[in-house]
Chains A and B, each alone.
Chain A
Amino acid sequence: MRRIISVLLENEPGALSRVVGLFSQRNYNIETLTVAPTEDETLSRLTVTTTGSDRVIEQITKQLNKLIEVVKLVDLTEGSHIERELMLIKLKASGSQRAEIKRTVDIFRGQIVDVTSTVYTVQLAGDSDKLDAFIQAVGETGVLEVVRSGVSGIARGEKVLSI
């Protein structure tokens, strides 16, 4: 099962590599990883998506909690949550393709952020499925380059992950 684990981490050199190292060392897979400082600059917020059985996820969260720099963590997929991923995608766009792509971008509520005579660069945000669906909709042959940020997630409602 796919899970989103959100971690509050001391914003110190080496802390991120400790988290990443733990995953590879214990043979867990990282699907996506995003990290940036929070409103409190001594803390970083890290979102990692991974897959595994309940047992594996339990081990992952326990092992993460053992790291001295991990302040707090939550498995966002345990409750209702919002997840977003940003994608920049460069598409072949010439002739009749141009209008078609524009329509598709509108349907997906994306934005064309750069244009040349043969290329559109599109910015799209949403959950990962939506981004996958867009790639499928435009057809892979037209895709020149894809850059995805990885998932950022936050719990719905009043639930907050803070210290």
Chain B
Amino acid sequence: MELLSGADMLIRSLQDEGIEYIYGYPGGAALHIYDALFRQDKVKHILVRHEQAAVHMADGYARASGKPGTVLVTSGPGATNTITGIATAFMDSIPMVVLCGQVASTLIGEDAFQETDMIGVSRPVVKHNMSVRHPSEIPEVIRKAYYIAATGRPGPVVVDIPKDMTTPNERYEYSFPKKVKLRSYNPAVRGHSGQIRKAAEMMLAAKRPIIYAGGGVVLGKASDQLTELAHLLGHPVTTTLMGIGCFPASDKQSLGWLGMHGSYESNMAMHHSDLILAVGARFDDRVTNATEKFCPGARIIHIDIDPASISKTVEADVPIVGPVDTVLKEMVSLVKETKEKPDKDALKAWWKQIDEWRAFHGMRYEKSDEYIKPQEVVEALCRITDGKAFVTTDVGQHQMFTAQYYKFDKPNRWINSGGLGTMGFGLPAAMGVKLSYPDDDVICVTGEGSIQMNIQELSTCNQYNLPVKVVNLNNQALGMVKQWQDMNYESRHSQSYMESLPDFIKLAEAYGHVGIRIDRKEDLEPKLREAFAMKDKLVFLDIYVDPHEHVYPMQVARGSMKDMWLSKTERV
């Protein structure tokens, strides 16, 4: 048996766990750990400029790669700076382990320098958290942390490590546990076969079915099964914002995404359906609108790994708790085996109706001679990258435009903060993605409000050569806030203007990157192409877009799925 200090055990455990990257920021309580990091070269550390960005980087990395992200910070402010990132990952069920230094156990509770009760502070926004109570526990704690973070419904796990657990002069026997067993934690490994059979029968008998797929399909790596099932049945598929890409946007059965700014046809189809197959989607209020008016004629089959997500806001008729990939696989084989066939005539009529909705209002916007439209920018990006880039966004109008106009055919390519809606997410997330996929195009579509929330990470990009493309849809206002103020507050634009904007070009250059301003329509395509031709450079594109543009369609507040604004003047 090898004798190692707590700090060395921690790093060794990460190696044995197969961790490639840590995102972090050093400080007093974490210095023994940083020293152990220095003395090895298997686990690479990325030094950010703000701890929040470390978490978003780990998050972006996890979303793109499907592997858990890892964060290392010091105690007190280092730890509390991670909270927004942790809450973001928690809302979107992203697997992640956040290692926080803590003051020595002898000082805990004494309001020591840089002490915060991180277990207490993080409790409401983690899947689980734990403290190290003895150095010899470290391998087991780390193994457990990753196991909990990555299994069942994934989520962030915080591990608090008092400084005296990592002192170099105390050494203990190191052994990494192969298996974890927790008597109180047993995530479902398969769905109830009787329920799955019942669901399959209902789907075959449905006249106006719709498949409603969410982020769970992406996280559960079940895109192929979902696509196969949809093709077997011939049912229309709509996704949530988080589910974008889990079913190919270019597939003729795809209706796009649904909800507040979702497509007209998906909201209409959902409202008029007689059967909803909800897969890894949780009936978020940004989807359902007023739940009492939600889909009056529909029965609901709900597949989710998390039993608490079922019947939380909308009652499910057939609940199926289990991993979406195995449940869908079972459904596919049931549908293949059975003699029952989908009701072709009913489906034909249903598709005819859907195609009429599509023809009435597919995604559209008015072009302008005067302004570059944000939607045009996104369409150009999609064209130039052939729809194959990884695209992260911040939060606001630009996020919705990107979701509407970039066509994703694969899962894990669309990366945004769906649940928490975190401004400042986009750039660090893109950096995490770039580490995972260095040869692919990685774009951060952002706004001048959002980008300034973590713009310091341009410095990290320089240090580690992370040539992402930052596309700043600059409308010189907090666009979504302004849109709501236009619609609900008689255009009183209280604090929604971003006055004194920096010169983003100079800023990008100051950080060692290339900055390109686009303010004329005819420059859009050529300059974008120029930027994407610079493969090994971070290019910051500051694009002046129509400051008056609103995001449509938009559901009417407290209405049903089908109550929508289609433009500033047209309401259905």
Q: Which of B119, B128, B306, B311 contacts A68 (CB 8 A)?
A: B128
1/0 contact string of B114-136 vs chain A (CB within 8 Å): 00000110011001100100000
Q: Would B124 and A59 count as touching, CB distance under 8 A?
A: no
Report the stretch among B64-72, B79-87, B177-185 that lies at the interface.
B177-185
Beyond A17-B123, A59-B312, whether A68 also contacts B307 by CB under 8 A is no
Q: Would B306 and A163 count as touching, CB distance under 8 A?
A: no
- A132 interfacial by beta-carbon distance below 8 Å: no
User: Bound state CA distance, A63 and B153, in angstroms?
Assistant: 13
- A18 interfacial by beta-carbon distance below 8 Å: yes
1/0 contact string of A4-30 vs chain B (CB within 8 Å): 000000100110011001000100000
Q: Would B184 and A71 count as touching, CB distance under 8 A?
A: yes
Nearest neighbor of B306 in chain A, beta-carbon distance: A66
Q: In residues 270-326 of chain B, which contact A (Cβ within 8 Å)?
A: 306-308, 311-312
User: Bound state CA distance, A69 and B184, in angstroms?
Assistant: 6
Total interface residues in chain A, CB < 8 Å: 20
Q: In residues 44-89 of chain A, which contact B (Cβ within 8 Å)?
A: 55, 58-59, 62-63, 65-66, 68-72
Q: Would B308 and A63 count as touching, CB distance under 8 A?
A: yes
Q: In residues 161-183 of chain B, which contact A (Cβ within 8 Å)?
A: 182-183
* Residues of chain A lying within 8 A (CB to CB) of residue B148: 68
Q: Is the interface of A mostly helix, strand, loop or mixed?
A: helix
Q: Would B124 and A21 count as touching, CB distance under 8 A?
A: yes
Total interface residues in chain B, CB < 8 Å: 17
Q: Would B120 and A17 count as touching, CB distance under 8 A?
A: yes
Q: Which of B119, B124, B183, B311 contacts A25 (CB 8 A)?
A: B124
* Residues of chain A lying within 8 A (CB to CB) of residue B119: 14
How many A-B residue pairs lie within 8 Å, measured between CB atoms? 33
Q: Would B308 and A66 count as touching, CB distance under 8 A?
A: yes
User: Bound state CA distance, A71 and B306, in angstroms?
Assistant: 16
Q: Would A68 and B184 count as touching, CB distance under 8 A?
A: yes
Beyond A58-B311, A59-B308, A63-B308, whether A68 also contacts B185 by CB under 8 A is yes
User: Bound state CA distance, A55 and B123, in angstroms?
Assistant: 25
Nearest neighbor of B130 in chain A, beta-carbon distance: A14
Nearest neighbor of B119 in chain A, beta-carbon distance: A14
User: Bound state CA distance, A25 and B306, in angstroms?
Assistant: 18
Nearest neighbor of B148 in chain A, beta-carbon distance: A68
The distance from the CB of A54 to the nearest CB of chain B, in whole angstroms, is 10
Beyond A58-B311, A66-B306, whether A21 also contacts B123 by CB under 8 A is yes
* Residues of chain A lying within 8 A (CB to CB) of residue B182: 68
* Residues of chain B lying within 8 A (CB to CB) of residue A69: 184
User: Bound state CA distance, A65 and B183, in angstroms?
Assistant: 12
User: Bound state CA distance, A11 and B311, in angstroms?
Assistant: 31
User: Bound state CA distance, A65 and B188, in angstroms?
Assistant: 13
Nearest neighbor of A26 in chain B, beta-carbon distance: B124
Q: Would B123 and A10 count as touching, CB distance under 8 A?
A: no
Q: Would A70 and B184 count as touching, CB distance under 8 A?
A: yes
User: Bound state CA distance, A102 and B479, in angstroms?
Assistant: 74
The distance from the CB of B537 to the nearest CB of chain A, in whole angstroms, is 45
* Residues of chain A lying within 8 A (CB to CB) of residue B127: 68
Nearest neighbor of B125 in chain A, beta-carbon distance: A25
1/0 contact string of B504-546 vs chain A (CB within 8 Å): 0000000000000000000000000000000000000000000
* Residues of chain B lying within 8 A (CB to CB) of residue A70: 184
User: Bound state CA distance, A59 and B306, in angstroms?
Assistant: 12
User: Bound state CA distance, A78 and B533, in angstroms?
Assistant: 67
Q: Which of A14, A59, A71 contacts B183 (CB 8 A)?
A: A71
* Residues of chain A lying within 8 A (CB to CB) of residue B120: 17
Beyond A68-B148, A68-B182, A68-B185, whether A62 also contacts B124 by CB under 8 A is no
User: Bound state CA distance, A62 and B321, in angstroms?
Assistant: 12
Nearest neighbor of A72 in chain B, beta-carbon distance: B184
Q: Would B184 and A62 count as touching, CB distance under 8 A?
A: no
User: Bound state CA distance, A65 and B116, in angstroms?
Assistant: 28
Q: Which of B131, B183, B185, B307 contacts A163 (CB 8 A)?
A: B183
Nearest neighbor of B184 in chain A, beta-carbon distance: A71
User: Bound state CA distance, A25 and B126, in angstroms?
Assistant: 13
User: Bound state CA distance, A62 and B312, in angstroms?
Assistant: 10
User: Bound state CA distance, A55 and B312, in angstroms?
Assistant: 8
* Residues of chain A lying within 8 A (CB to CB) of residue B183: 71, 163
Nearest neighbor of A64 in chain B, beta-carbon distance: B308
User: Bound state CA distance, A13 and B308, in angstroms?
Assistant: 25
Nearest neighbor of A15 in chain B, beta-carbon distance: B184
* Residues of chain A lying within 8 A (CB to CB) of residue B311: 55, 58
User: Bound state CA distance, A163 and B181, in angstroms?
Assistant: 15
Nearest neighbor of B155 in chain A, beta-carbon distance: A66
User: Bound state CA distance, A10 and B130, in angstroms?
Assistant: 13
User: Bound state CA distance, A17 and B123, in angstroms?
Assistant: 9
User: Bound state CA distance, A65 and B308, in angstroms?
Assistant: 9
The distance from the CB of A15 to the nearest CB of chain B, in whole angstroms, is 10
* Residues of chain A lying within 8 A (CB to CB) of residue B307: 62, 65
Task: Give 26 A-B contacts (CB < 8 Å), ordered by A residue.
Answer: A10-B184, A13-B131, A14-B119, A14-B131, A17-B120, A17-B123, A18-B123, A21-B123, A25-B124, A59-B308, A59-B312, A63-B308, A65-B307, A65-B308, A66-B306, A66-B308, A68-B127, A68-B128, A68-B148, A68-B184, A68-B185, A69-B184, A70-B184, A71-B183, A71-B184, A163-B183
Chain B interface (Cβ < 8 Å from any Cβ of A): 119-120, 123-124, 127-128, 131, 148, 182-185, 306-308, 311-312
Which 10 pairs from chain A and chain B are nearest by CB? A62-B308, A71-B184, A68-B128, A25-B124, A68-B185, A62-B307, A63-B308, A21-B123, A66-B308, A69-B184
Given contacts A25-B124, A65-B307, A71-B184, 8 further A-B contacts (CB under 8 A): A10-B184, A14-B119, A17-B123, A21-B124, A55-B311, A59-B308, A68-B182, A68-B185
